A and B are shown apart, each in its own frame.
Chain A
Amino acid sequence: MPTAAEPTGVTDPAVLAERYGLSKSSIRPPLGSYLRELWSRRQFVLSYATARTYAMYAGARLGSIWQVLTPLLNAAVYYLAFGVLLGTKNGIDNYVAFLLSGIFVFTFTQRCMTEGSRSLALNLSLIRTLHFPRATLPLAYVLNELNQMLVSLAILFVVVGFTDGPQWRWFLIAPAMVLQMMFNIGITLVFARIGTFVSDITQLLPFVTRTWLYASGIFFSLPYKLEQLHAPSWVVQVLAFNPISAYIDIVRRSLLEEHKRNQLPHAWTIAIVWSFVMLAAGFWYFWRAEDRYGRG
């Protein structure tokens, strides 16, 4: 401590502030200490996610049964449209498992994006009341979706186990989920920031995700489909760079024996690179605006 007690007459406010260790009130902490602070609030993230899951179904008569029903109904609609009406099975034997894995993996990321983009706007009052690292809110939303994803995966295992019986390959799903989770945290943080400052994004996102849905090879096998269309081989190479396609591909490799002939090139490498890049970019991008959330 400098000799603070001595009255020194007249001083510049900034100098005076520094002498007594005051800092600007709206300043964002360095990234390192921000991440440490975030880690110290992990209990808050967990409790908030639990409370939100509970509140989400509290009003419904069927309660948390909807966690199982929603993905099933979703899959049923797509099965009806693509499997039965349009007949896109394309010689995939276990089309139900093929379709479900695609939809569940895609929905995981899609819901993270759309829900995450509103995670700060919906909690403005909390943000304006208490001080805490704002990234905790989008993180809690991702945790919510992970919970839903695990329920969906359980359904998937029942479906595949019913037809093929349990396999050692299944354990490949664990690293795939970790990678997708990292990617989702990153992309959710990005859209949480965008959604706060450009609220129009919540109107726009459904169209973006729907386009992404059709480009991700969920209803049909991408290599198979493109071969039918006599597309040049580089098209598959380009489409394989889609992170969602990569995650779906890994999950299908682990669940479906027959997927071997249709798998995308370099899925693991692409998945790993996307995960790490997106996670780092997400945290960095979100943190850059930390001092501006909650204003307006």
Chain B
Amino acid sequence: MLRYIFKRLLIAVPLIFGVLTLTFFIIRLAPGDPAAFFIQPGISPNVAEQIRQQYGLNDPLPVQYIKWLGNVLHGDFGRSFSRAQQPVFDVIAEALPVTMTIAVLTLIANFVFGIIIGVISAVKQNSFLDRFLTVTALFFYSMPEFWLALMMIILFALKWPLFPVSGLNEIGAESYGTFGFIMDRIWHLALPVTVLSINGSAGIARYVRGSMLEVIRQDYVRTARAKGLSERVVILKHALRNALLPVVTLMGSSLPFIFSGALFIEVIFAFPGMGRVTVEAIFARDYPLIIANTFVSGTMIVFGNLLADVLYAVVDPRIKL
């Protein structure tokens, strides 16, 4: 298996590199100018030109590409255009932990609620509870996340002010002490994580239900029941374990989705995470930052998929890598 992982990682290098090269050309071909902000009355026409010179955008495209390639091979992704010349990895180093926190919390909530709802629906198949959960899950599943987020803000931050509207921490939260600070952080994360996981767990619940229904009809479950085991043991120990096999692989592949979901959530809740960095970088035509973000999310997707494959092999002994 180690050999397999190593091989996959080796293939990932040219893959990510190809993605970066494509991004490099696509963003430069897209209309819009990183120096456009400096084209306005009252600002000398020279400024935009000087700024482009600084950014190295006056060179022909192939020259720009070779220079960029050289820098990237040295591990230098450059400095951000729109964020006061901060090295792009500093920008990402500030943003990534925020997004990771949201992603991990969401992932956990997704699976916990998804599995619970899925199992209940499957066990009580076709009952009122199952129908209710199915309809509710579909209802939330088909709802755009940004809209759901705004509705949640209106309900739980304005109408009933239980949660804060935005931000990672309250102003002056530093003075609360470590525990207070973390509690404040969790309090701020409650709404966004709920929004993200309502959608995700609704999807997972469908998977679990389907997989569970299949397993429940298997002979060994009937055998377990025939042995006189309690229903609880049958469901949780014999059926659920096997039903979870296909679900586990979802974990790796849902990571990129959670990341892209975080995009809207971060803009709406004013979290300085990767999503906001990406959106703002694209609007500002901040080429180095866009490429660095692509690098991070590309790597994430490749590893997510690898993780999914490896998990599959781990949980299902029939699969050999």
Physical interaction between A and B: no
> Which residues in B have some Cβ–Cβ distance to A below 8 Å?
none
> Which residues in A have some Cβ–Cβ distance to B below 8 Å?
none
